[in-house]
Chains A and B, each alone.
Chain A
Amino acid sequence: MQPLIKTTGVQLSFGGVIAADNIDFELHSGERLAVIGQNGAGKTTFINICTGYLKPQAGKIYFDGTDITSMTPRKIVRLGMGRSFQLPQLFTEHTVRECIQIAAARQNARLTAFKPLAATVDTREVESTLELVGLREDGDALSSDLPEGKRKLLDVAMALALRPKLIIMDEPTSGVASEDKHGLMQTVMNALDERKVTSWFVEHDVDIVAQYATRVAAWINGAIVADGSPDEVLNDPRIKSEVLGN
């Protein structure tokens, strides 16, 4: 089966620092990939390359068979790649529901100049998305009024409303109180499973990784040094000392 994401020989350095060292990588549909590594190891740079935000100096990236190496982030999104952010990126003067509605419109061509936004999107889908992340009752609240955990959920929900094949999440549980992390992650993963969305997330919390990932990739100095099941990677002595700092 064709991989959802495939990169060959992706290379990028900034002023002497190698951020991505000849990366060959594949991600398959249905996987839940957790990416671990110290800050500066290259995890976020690689995500920025795959989402079109940065261009590699060498190599190619394919999304569902299509060469996306030189595509703009916008085009890549429209192909089915969603993204959520470490600091939730919301429309702070819109309500929770409106944020989802805007995302649900998905393309300029479907934006109306006259009919209200709410009337142009699939209401059932919007409500079901809100329901999936547990934000149904908060639908009319201003997105900036939400507590941190719910803002993270809204951030993911906006990506979900795009009907993507893949959602890339940058530290989904960071900034959330430790007792709430598992609840948050459970909600997110259930929602993604329900909509059959593959997930790729950067995470520092080992327990979260162990519980929710089906595959773990560890980064050191711009290269993936370990790639396998959570059991294998998290118990690898080199990873434990150099990445997890045990």
Chain B
Amino acid sequence: MFFDILPLALVDGIAYACLLFLVSMGLTLIFGVMGILNVAHGAFYAFGGYSAASFIMMLAPTTESAWIPLVSLFLVAIVVGTLLGGLMELVLIRRAQAYDPILKLLLTFGALLMLEDVQRFIWGAQPYSASEVVGRLGNIELGNITYTTYQLVVVPATALVAYIGLEYFLRYTNLGKQMVAVTHNREVATSLGINAGKIGLITFIIGAILGVLGGALASPTTSLVPGAGADMIVLSFAVVATAGLGQITGALIAALMIGILRSIAVYMAPEVEVAVPYIIMGLVLLVRPHGLFTVAQARTI
């Protein structure tokens, strides 16, 4: 039975992992550069999903095209991500730069609570979805199995492009290199003339856009309901912790691992499916207390 379900589980798992990876990429980027574990990241995901779903529901009847709704997912993500991320950084994060990491985390937890109610205020409790997008893009047949183009191509392609784009940005552009410098040592970077405040804002916005994008891309295949944000933040934390805080490539691997194993569990042992990411995280941290890919830091007095 295992090999029967494997292709389906893999495709499902990879698509799911890609969404998870997009969100986690944003989370781990923000942590790496700014030292904040942004609990409100889950709300970014949720807002992305809801906004995209609303927009598509409005847009779909006005056009026959398959591509316009798809492209609008990305546009919504960029707009919403910039607004939410920018607002939160300017109002909240900026002021708390010198605080204890736990207090910073609690601030973002407060922001999550606030955003969850704003979300419920705007969209209510009924499920939202943008299933139109999937239907219009059609299916692809591989072997004997039919997959949706969306799941098989669009989602993984986006995640891959985002990953390569971010890595390129961090390694080869001036702005990206400055972000890396701030990650390694904020004080030294500032004394070299890098505007840490500007870097912080840009980082947070990029991270937020990734989180929102994850939600926007999830809206065609998921039903957005209240609580989606809280669920997602815990999941993406599991990915980020498994990989090691700040490790982007690690997050890709961890997301794939968790996504695929969870997907297999859905088919073979559905009772434990929800627990799978946390079991994996627990097992990894038992062996490597700081995540799979961190570089050990020497303790000094």
Contact = CB atoms under 8 A, between A and B. Distances in A.
Instruction: Assess A/B contact in the complex (Cβ within 8 A).
Output: yes
Contacts of B301: 85, 87, 89
A89 B301 CA distance: 8
Contacts of A87: 301
Which DSSP category, helix, strand, loop or mixed, fits chain B's interface?
Answer: loop
Interface residues of B, number: 1
A87 B300 CA distance: 11
A85 B301 CA distance: 8
Interface residues of A, number: 3
Nearest to A170: B301
Nearest to B299: A53
Interface in A76-93: 85, 87, 89
Interface string A85-120: 101010000000000000000000000000000000
A87 B301 CA distance: 8
Nearest to A87: B301
A112 B301 CA distance: 29
Contacts of A85: 301
Interface string B286-301: 0000000000000001
A85 B300 CA distance: 12
A32 B89 CA distance: 57
A177 to B, nearest CB: 23
A170 to B, nearest CB: 9
A242 B301 CA distance: 27
Interface string B262-301: 0000000000000000000000000000000000000001
Interface string B152-183: 00000000000000000000000000000000
Interface string A122-157: 000000000000000000000000000000000000
A236 B180 CA distance: 50
Contacts of A89: 301
Nearest to A85: B301
A217 to B, nearest CB: 22
B162 to A, nearest CB: 37
A8 to B, nearest CB: 27
Nearest to A86: B301
Nearest to A89: B301
B296 to A, nearest CB: 15
Nearest to A83: B301
B149 to A, nearest CB: 52
Interface in A33-92: 85, 87, 89
A140 to B, nearest CB: 27
A89 B299 CA distance: 14
Nearest to B301: A85
B297 to A, nearest CB: 15
A106 B301 CA distance: 21
A73 to B, nearest CB: 11
A165 to B, nearest CB: 22
B134 to A, nearest CB: 55
B102 to A, nearest CB: 16
B100 to A, nearest CB: 13
A91 to B, nearest CB: 14
B119 to A, nearest CB: 40
Interface in A200-227: none
A111 to B, nearest CB: 23
B299 to A, nearest CB: 9
B301 to A, nearest CB: 6
Interface string B93-121: 00000000000000000000000000000
A148 to B, nearest CB: 17
A110 B301 CA distance: 27
Interface in A163-187: none
A58 B211 CA distance: 51
A60 B301 CA distance: 24
B57 to A, nearest CB: 55
A54 to B, nearest CB: 10
3 contacts: A85-B301, A87-B301, A89-B301
Interface of A: 85, 87, 89
Rank and list the top 3 A-B pairs by shortest CB-CB distance, nearest first.
Answer: A85-B301, A89-B301, A87-B301
